[in-house]
Structure 1
Amino acid sequence: MNAIPSVDLNDFLSDDPKKKQDFVNALGKAYEEIGFVALKGHFLSDDLVHNLYKEIKNFFDLPLDTKQKYEIPGIGGQRGYVSFGKESAKGKKEGDLKEFWHFGQYVEDDEALKSEYPDNVIVEELPEFNKVGKTTYKMLEKTAKYVLRALALHLDLNETYFDNFIHNGNSILRPIHYPPITSEPKEAVRAAAHGDINLITLLMGAQGRGLQVQNHKGEWIDAIAAPDELMINVGDMLSRHTNNKLKSTIHRVVNPPKELWGTSRYSIPFFMHPISSMKLDVLENCVDEDHPKAFDDITAGAFLNERLIELGLIKK
């Protein structure tokens, strides 16, 4: 497969059983073959997208000492600001050429879970920043819920199988700024080759060149979304849970050609995580003689902790 398939969530939400099933089939096929789809019909309005980009640009344009006020020690970068070069891909020494922000879950009906998650960080200088971030978080979470419902049907599970695991899940909205490149990077790229940790990732900002996906032949292909599309990929948690039936595909963000070094790039992934107690044990209906169980049993929380240590965001 040398192109990212495109699907429309309106087909899944329609009252037409054939359209719904066609969506399930197309989504499942894409995630088994390449691990990525471009999705139309999501719940983000044009106005919300415009306002979000305006707010995140305003934030990243703040002076560094102002941004660093919002870098919270001791929480592995799970909320607030993470400064340039702090995160590296698994197995890479060089820090990625990016700075970013984290919005986390807004728990409203579970005090125990509320105390488990760090509080969201309020940016005093930008009164609209947190409000727009929260609305975007909710709309992406809603979109992700229906994508996971379609995948549940593809896996011969109950349609709402994932609902209770993702309600109040440990999901993260991460606006990223890749600043202009000022000198020849030695080994670093904007985001080194990696797989995502979570169930699925919904990516805003894949409209230009930069994001590349590795297909099963090991070839790197450009993943470019249309203006009204989100790029959505399978993460390692879902790949593990389905015994690699659904593919968590290695991807990267490459540096632009030299003539474009002076430009910033912004992208905004939403990492859909379940609650930490979800068991990622391999699903029984994803195991057979040709596909023996490939992974040990583990919870989502324990798996996330392992990966944050590997990424250098928390210490052992």
Structure 2
Amino acid sequence: MTDSNTDIAVVSLAQPLDSIADELGRSFREYGFAVIRDHGIPQDLIDRAEALSKEFFALPAEVKKAYHIPGGGGARGYTPFGTEKAKDAKVHDLKEFWHVGRELPEGHELSEYMADNVWPSEVEGFRETFTKLYSAFEEAGGRVLEGIALHLGLDRTFFAPTVEDGNSVMRLLRYPPLEGEEAEGAIRAAAHGDINTITLLLGAEEAGLELLTRQGDWKAVDVPEGALVINVGDMLDRLTNGKLRSTTHRVVNPRGQAAYRARYSMPFFLHFRPDYMIETLPSCIDPQAPDDHPAPISSHEFLLQRLREINLA
């Protein structure tokens, strides 16, 4: 069954963080999800980005495929329809996407972990717009992490050095329109958890995003116009020993007329630095079970493990 998100937190980032931190934490503990209003990403920037994303995906298939990087794990450029699949899924997701990553100066100590971006010459303003949007996403994500730190009883700046120059990725995503009677309610992105620290999602106002509750029910995530959906990724789940949940979620095709049109969204996968060791926070270890927590692992090694599982490496 599916119900709606009557008690997933909807908070304003314009409020003092200490006034919303525990409401965020409650929602992340119970659902792994929260909704953020007043996130600070300018609406005109969002509008330009959405228009340019649609312009790129409207290009001929052979033009788009010229930006696919074989062996690149989908980290940069274009990934064609029918490539990625959720962990343990038997079929590929019904989507195509473009990835923008961090741009590091030449000789940076983390350059070996991050490929250079590629940019489509056919879409004017693409690089400028998405470079700005990447920075805006990162700033909003930093604010959310400050709130999480306060909820966990940490210094509010705890996460800043852990994500500085992190391997964060912005995804421009298109789910092509479906046809036939099976379109309504079809699974566009199979049930999965995100790999990263937190995900910030623009474009979730259209119905279809659902999370799996502790009780085993699918819960629809309803989003006010212009808001961001935030969810906990596996890296933060691991760091907090499961106190903040990386929740299984999926995208289903809506019912009615919306089932037969393309769906667009822009998730930002905020990552720790590749050299950051994900080691359970002492405050998240149960004194009655001091050995019951994941072993330390670097952010980069964890990412590689998971990319292999979803057919991107």
Q: TM-score, normalised by structure 1?
A: 0.92
Which structure 2 residue ranges, 5 or more long, are not aligned? none
Q: Is the 8 A contact 2:34 2:230 kept in 1?
A: yes
- The 3 A distance-change label for structure 1 pair 109 and 230 is farther
The Cα shift of 1:189 comes to 2.2
- The 3 A distance-change label for structure 1 pair 110 and 272 is farther
**Corresponding residue for residue 7 of structure 1:** 11
Identical-pair percentage: 41
Counterpart pick for 1:27 among 24, 27, 39: 24
Task: Number of aligned residue pairs: give it.
Answer: 306
Alignment of 1:274 onto 2:272: yes
The Cα shift of 1:205 comes to 0.7
Q: Is the 8 A contact 2:209 2:250 kept in 1?
A: yes
**Corresponding residue for residue 244 of structure 1:** 242
Give, in whole Å, the separation in 2 of the partners of 1:106 and 1:37: 29
User: CA deviation digits over 1:27-66, x for unaligned, max 9?
Assistant: 1111111111110121211101110000000000000000
SS in 1 for 2:35: strand
Q: Give the alignment of 1:85-104 within 5 angstroms.
A: 85-104=82-101
Counterpart pick for 1:254 among 252, 277, 289: 252
Q: Is the 8 A contact 2:210 2:250 kept in 1?
A: yes
The Cα shift of 1:109 comes to 8.3
Give, in whole Å, the separation in 2 of the partners of 1:216 and 1:129: 41
Q: What letter is aligned with 1:40?
A: R
The Cα shift of 1:4 comes to 2.1
Counterpart pick for 1:157 among 154, 166, 179: 154
The Cα shift of 1:297 comes to 1.4
**Corresponding residue for residue 295 of structure 2:** 296
Q: Is the 8 A contact 1:212 1:221 kept in 2?
A: yes
Give, in whole Å, the separation in 2 of the partners of 1:5 and 1:64: 40
Q: Give the alignment of 1:112-151 within 5 angstroms.
A: 112-151=109-148
Q: Is the 8 A contact 1:103 1:120 kept in 2?
A: yes
**Corresponding residue for residue 180 of structure 1:** 177
- The 3 A distance-change label for structure 1 pair 154 and 291 is farther
Q: Is the 8 A contact 1:94 1:188 kept in 2?
A: no
Q: What letter is aligned with 2:48?
A: N
Q: Give the alignment of 1:146-225 within 5 angstroms.
A: 146-183=143-180, 184=182, 189-225=187-223
User: CA deviation digits over 1:189-229, x for unaligned, max 9?
Assistant: 21100110000000001102100011111111111211121
The Cα shift of 1:158 comes to 1.7
Q: Is the 8 A contact 1:177 1:267 kept in 2?
A: yes
Q: Is the 8 A contact 1:89 1:96 kept in 2?
A: yes
The Cα shift of 1:96 comes to 0.2
**Corresponding residue for residue 65 of structure 2:** 68
- The 3 A distance-change label for structure 1 pair 104 and 210 is same
Q: What letter is aligned with 1:307?
A: R
**Corresponding residue for residue 44 of structure 1:** 41
Q: What letter is aligned with 1:196?
A: D
Moved more, 171-180 or 292-301: 292-301
Moved more, 146-155 or 264-273: 146-155
What root-mean-square deviation, in Å, do the aligned CA atoms of Structure 1 and Structure 2 show?
1.7
Q: TM-score, normalised by structure 2?
A: 0.93
Alignment of 1:308 onto 2:312: no
Which protein has the bigger strand share?
Answer: 2
SS in 1 for 2:304: helix
Give, in whole Å, the separation in 2 of the partners of 1:232 and 1:79: 23
- The 3 A distance-change label for structure 1 pair 214 and 75 is same
Q: Is the 8 A contact 1:32 1:247 kept in 2?
A: yes
Moved more, 75-84 or 283-292: 283-292
Q: Is the 8 A contact 1:106 1:168 kept in 2?
A: no
Moved more, 157-166 or 168-177: 157-166
Moved more, 253-262 or 164-173: 253-262
Give, in whole Å, the separation in 2 of the partners of 1:291 and 1:109: 46
